[in-house]
């Protein structure tokens, strides 16, 4: 349909299906009408022999038919002067885009599943939360106001050294019972620069700049993840886990007796060392399998194959995978009760929900065991450490931990013919013995 685009005519158009009305005065200038009633001015033109489409803007302020027609004339003149209007607009937008705006766009793209990980999968919620924290606590405070096109390699280097020096370190209250503790250090600096590199790769992809300023920046060596529990440390942890479980069972017995007395007298309270037995078993399972925290907490009974001794996970950091289980891990699963209406192996206190609050419980337990520098994820490293020091190949360890990239397993190379299933059985058996033993029998680990 061709007609002179006027304000009166445009108001009279009733949306039906998507259609385009072409202007009779300016060739290629038109109005796109969508079924939802929105109306957008467009321009179709030729540039270097190729047909191009340019969206001028939506009908309304600032674009009236007259203003949109004037813009179309300007754009056609630009194309005639051998300057592509589309590339010119991208350059204009890029020139004004700040790092903070880029980060917001990056997060939106990731949340919508438009950015994939190395495993060709959308980022998980936990990864997005980490990304958001790095942006809000480090990137925006240090680089947020700079234009994307102005960031240099020197800026990135200064960014890294500032984080390492603790410039962005904070310890502030965020909610009624929440607190944000952001630390500096070389490990934090290195990982944040690595993340920034991904953000600028995205900037290159969408045409905001032609190069990545993070490339070539020499980072600190990240040693934070190289922590393995010794045999003595595993025993100490095992004693603390058992004492916490026993204290809770004693409390439950006292509570039953109190109820049987018609609740007469003061209600019993858990001892200071008492902890939820479900949380204790979840921590033991982490140690016995080398699984990730999210894999254990979100584990449902439908993914447990006790007959063949496997966890058949439908989703994980690296996608669907089968995790072989040793006898000690299988025995733990067999003693876990099932709760009607709750699909989780490690159920929480709320109906139908999995266990929550495990990090806080871990902090208390590791403190009692004298392991203040040990993270929950170090149980995974310790599982691999014992396997490597026991003679299992890196290929075997990578299979046990579910690594897709062999380079990930190389961190255990300095520690290192059986089938994968036998290796899982032996490693979990050794850890189980350490957790339950009070003897001084040495256990070989990566230290």
Q: Each residue of 18-54: pLDDT tens digit?
A: 789 999 999 999 999 988 888 999 999 999 989 999 9
> Does 162 score more than 90 pLDDT?
yes
What pLDDT, on a 0 to 100 scale, did the predictor assign at position 68?
Answer: 95
Cβ-based burial of 227 (10 A; exposed 0-12, middle 13-18, buried ≥19) = middle
Pick 170 or 162 by higher pLDDT. Answer: 162
Pick 116 or 177 by higher pLDDT. Answer: 116
Pick 123 or 249 by higher pLDDT. Answer: 249
What pLDDT, on a 0 to 100 scale, did the predictor assign at position 172?
Answer: 60
> Does 94 score more than 60 pLDDT?
yes
What pLDDT, on a 0 to 100 scale, did the predictor assign at position 178?
Answer: 56
Lowest mean pLDDT among 114-118, 196-200, 297-301: 114-118
**How many other β-carbons are positioned within 10 Å of the β-carbon of residue 292?**
22
What pLDDT, on a 0 to 100 scale, did the predictor assign at position 418?
Answer: 47
pLDDT digits (tens, 9 = 90+) for 50-78: 999 999 999 988 899 999 999 999 999 99
Q: How confident is the model at residue 278 (pLDDT cuts 50, 70, 90)?
A: very high
Compute the distance between CA of residue 208 and CA of residue 214 in angstroms, rounded to an integer: 15
- Between CA 427 and CA 430, with CA 428 as vertex, the angle to 5 degrees is 65
pLDDT digits (tens, 9 = 90+) for 120-156: 778 888 889 999 999 999 999 999 999 999 999 999 9
Pick 95 or 415 by higher pLDDT. Answer: 95
> Does 295 score more than 70 pLDDT?
yes
Pick 208 or 155 by higher pLDDT. Answer: 155
Radius of gyration of the chain (CA): 30
Mean pLDDT, residues 256-270: 92
Cβ-based burial of 17 (10 A; exposed 0-12, middle 13-18, buried ≥19) = exposed
What pLDDT, on a 0 to 100 scale, did the predictor assign at position 417?
Answer: 40
Model pTM?
0.59
What pLDDT, on a 0 to 100 scale, did the predictor assign at position 121?
Answer: 79
Q: What percent of the chain has pLDDT over 90?
A: 60
Q: Are 401 and 380 in contact (CB under 8 A)?
A: yes
What pLDDT, on a 0 to 100 scale, did the predictor assign at position 64?
Answer: 93
Q: Is the peptide bond before 36 cis (omega within 30 degrees of 0)?
A: no
Cβ-based burial of 380 (10 A; exposed 0-12, middle 13-18, buried ≥19) = buried
Mean pLDDT, residues 166-174: 76
Mean pLDDT, residues 434-443: 66
- Between CA 310 and CA 319, with CA 313 as vertex, the angle to 5 degrees is 130
Element (H, E) at 172: strand 170-173
Q: Give the distance, in angstroms, between the CA of residue 375 and the centroid of all CA atoms in the same chain.
A: 17
Pick 315 or 363 by higher pLDDT. Answer: 363
Compute the distance between CA of residue 322 and CA of residue 307 in angstroms, rounded to an integer: 14
Q: Give the distance, in angstroms, between the CA of residue 403 and the centroid of all CA atoms in the same chain.
A: 17
Q: What own/partner pairs with CB < 8 Å and gap ≥ 24 does 237-243 have?
A: 237/287, 237/365, 237/366, 237/369, 237/371, 237/435, 238/434, 238/435, 238/436, 238/437, 239/369, 239/438, 240/365, 240/368, 240/369, 241/280, 241/283, 241/284, 241/365, 241/435, 242/435, 242/436, 243/273
Q: How confident is the model at residue 392 (pLDDT cuts 50, 70, 90)?
A: low
Which of 211-225, 284-298, 379-393 reaches the highest mean pLDDT? 284-298
210 to each of 93, 94, 150, 298, how far by Cα in Å? 14, 11, 12, 41
pLDDT digits (tens, 9 = 90+) for 298-323: 999 999 999 999 999 887 666 677 88
> Does 405 score more than 80 pLDDT?
no
Q: 3-state DSSP call for residue 387?
A: helix
Pick 136 or 221 by higher pLDDT. Answer: 136
pLDDT digits (tens, 9 = 90+) for 180-190: 566 778 989 99
Q: Are 248 and 364 in contact (CB under 8 A)?
A: no
pLDDT digits (tens, 9 = 90+) for 226-248: 678 888 999 999 999 999 999 99
């Amino acid at each position: 349909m061709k007609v002179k685009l006027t304000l009166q005519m445009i108001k009279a158009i009733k949306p039906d299906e998507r259609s385009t009305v072409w202007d009779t005065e300016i060739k290629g200038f038109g109005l796109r009408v969508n079924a939802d009633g929105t109306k957008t001015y467009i321009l179709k033109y030729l540039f270097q022999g190729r047909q191009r489409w340019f969206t001028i803007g939506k009908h309304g302020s600032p674009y009236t038919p007259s203003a949109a027609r004037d813009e179309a004339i300007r754009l056609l003149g630009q194309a005639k002067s051998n300057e592509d209007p589309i590339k010119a607009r991208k350059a204009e937008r890029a020139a004004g885009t700040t790092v903070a705006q880029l980060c917001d766009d990056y997060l939106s793209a990731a949340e919508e599943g438009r950015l994939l990980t190395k495993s060709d999968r959308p980022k998980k919620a936990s990864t997005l939360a980490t990304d958001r924290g790095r942006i809000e606590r480090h990137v925006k405070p240090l680089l947020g106001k700079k234009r994307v096109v102005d960031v240099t390699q020197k800026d990135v280097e200064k960014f890294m050294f500032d984080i390492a020096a603790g410039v962005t370190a904070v310890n502030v209250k965020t909610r009624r019972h929440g607190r944000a503790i952001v630390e500096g250090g070389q490990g934090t600096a290195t990982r944040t620069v690595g993340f920034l590199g991904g953000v600028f790769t995205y900037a290159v992809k969408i045409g905001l700049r032609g190069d990545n300023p993070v490339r070539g920046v020499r980072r600190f060596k990240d040693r934070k993840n190289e922590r393995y529990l010794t045999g003595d440390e595993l025993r100490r942890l095992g004693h603390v886990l058992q004492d916490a479980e026993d204290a809770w069972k004693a409390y439950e017995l006292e509570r039953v007796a109190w109820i049987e007395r018609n609740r007469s007298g003061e209600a019993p309270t858990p001892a200071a060392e008492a902890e939820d037995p479900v949380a204790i078993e979840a921590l033991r399972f982490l140690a016995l399998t080398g699984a990730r925290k999210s894999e254990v907490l979100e584990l449902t009974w439908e993914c447990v194959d006790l007959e063949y001794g496997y966890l058949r996970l439908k989703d994980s950091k690296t996608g669907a995978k089968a995790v072989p289980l040793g006898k000690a891990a299988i025995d733990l699963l067999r003693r876990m009760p099932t709760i009607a209406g709750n699909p989780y192996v490690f159920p929480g206190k709320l109906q139908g929900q999995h266990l929550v609050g495990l990090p806080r419980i871990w902090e208390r337990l590791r403190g009692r065991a004298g392991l203040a520098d040990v993270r929950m994820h170090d149980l995974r490293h310790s599982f691999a450490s014992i396997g490597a020091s026991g003679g299992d190949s890196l290929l075997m360890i990578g299979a046990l931990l579910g690594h897709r990239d062999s380079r990930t397993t190389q961190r255990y190379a300095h520690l290192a013919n059986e089938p994968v299933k036998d290796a899982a059985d032996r490693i979990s058996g050794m850890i189980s013995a350490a957790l339950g033993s009070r003897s001084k029998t040495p256990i070989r680990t990566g230290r």
